[in-house]
Amino acid sequence: MKKIYRFSDYSFFTDMSELARKNNSFDLSLGLPDFDIDERLKYYLKESSDCDVHQYEPLAGNPMLIQNIIRFNAQRKNIITVNENEISIIPCATFALHTALKSVLSPGDEVVIIQPSYYTYGPSVVMNGGVPVYYEPEDDFSTNWDHLKSSISSKTKAIIINSPQNPTGKVWKQSDWNQLHHLIADRNIYLISEEIYDLYCYDGAEHYSSFLHPELRKKTFCIFSFGKMFHCTGWKVSYMLAPENLTEQFRFHQQYLSYGANAPAQYALAKYLDGFDFEQHQSVMQHKRDLFNTLIADTPLWTDQPCEGSVFQTVNFRNVSKTMTDVEFSQWLTAEKQVACLPLSAFYHLRQNSDYIRFSFLKKDETIIQALEHLKRVL
């Protein structure tokens, strides 16, 4: 297998999805919905074809969308106050993370990556001349602050965090951000905070953004995704919050990479965001999470705890096999038992095995029911 920037030249994520396709399996491996987007989004996208939004938007993004982002964040229970000079409309979260790193890294700078983490983080650090340093949490995925502190050195330039987290579903609370600030308060360390599942916090929990912390905010690139919010990832529109000085640095690089994001989609999202029902959207996903966990309890697989956020649930498989690696088990479950998942070790740089697999419940109710009723019969 070839290596690119010392990383594999393919994604295990797409590999498992292809295995599911070949075996006609229920595909719960990826966080892609099998249901349609809201009809209003389609209507506004069609409306955009009759409007003059077919050329480049300003570098910052569609002005109407920026204003509606300001209003949307002001309506959160944990209000994020932001101005138009702190918002950038970008093609996707991966672009934002890569460009944020490009904005702050010098060759040899270290970047702490809190794992388990999405597979693009390490390569983005290396492609920008940095050195990834991987921090692994405790067995219950909680943060050991002394251990995290030991991952930070004089060479550390940035820390990458994801909350609500993919794949564990952990959500950082205000106290967690306070702890992190305590670790880096006197250091010139930037924070890249991917918060793309911000709408999906459960059991009464509310998303608490890194951008709410008065000190962390000064050195934070905070990334959100309309694709994840509204299940339209193919539209390729996200947004980033950062203080004005970091926004200026970010846009300096952005202009030479993508310049702007999809203009008609920006128009449609701006219209849709105006009057968007946050609570109804959240309750639908909590229902799907609860449905998944109710049905998985009738199989030999088991959950340590329901996910606090995101659209993923980690599941322990050791009641079924004590000898398979999580990769082997995922491949066996996908090909032989026809329900696709991902091994948790796919989200680690060095770990080759774990006791966990990850399922996505971002599916139609009938898909969740059929997949888990099938597992109940075959396991």
Q: CA 276, CA 72: separation in Å to the nearest integer?
A: 8
User: What are the beta bridge partners of residue 314?
Assistant: 358
At 279 the pLDDT is: 86
Q: What is the mean pLDDT of residues 86-98?
A: 97
Per-residue pLDDT tens over the stretch 223-236 = 999 999 999 999 99
Calpha distance 267→253 (Å, rounded): 24
DSSP assignment of 107-152? TT-EEEEESS--TTHHHHHHHTT-EEEEE---TTS---HHHHHHT-
pLDDT in the model for residue 12:
72
SS3 323: coil
The string of pLDDT tens digits covering residues 260-302 is: 999 999 999 999 998 888 888 899 999 999 999 999 999 999 9
Q: What are the φ and ψ backbone dihedral angles of 222, each rounded to 5 degrees? A: -110, 120
Residue 82: which pLDDT band, with cuts at 50, 70 and 90?
very high
Q: Rounded mean pLDDT of the chain?
A: 94
What pLDDT does 243 receive?
Answer: 98
Q: For 357, what's the count of Cα atoms within 13 Å in the CB-facing half-sphere? A: 30
Question: For 27, phi and psi rounded to 5 degrees?
Answer: -95, 95
DSSP-assigned letters across all residues of 261-314? --HHHHHHHHHHHTT--HHHHHHHHHHHHHHHHHHHTTSS-B-SS--SBSSEEE
DSSP per residue over 240-265, as a string? EE--HHHHHHHHHHHHHHT-S--HHH
Domains in the chain, please, with CATH?
A: 3-30+278-378 (3.90.1150.10), 55-273 (3.40.640.10)
Residue 1: per-residue pLDDT: 42
List CB contacts of 50: < 8 A, sequence separation 6 or more: none
Closest CA to 236 of 248, 228, 244, 247: 228
Instruction: Say whether 15 sits in a helix, a strand or coil.
Output: helix
Q: Is the pLDDT assigned to residue 2 strictly greater than 60?
A: no
Pull the structure tokens for residue 352.
């080759």
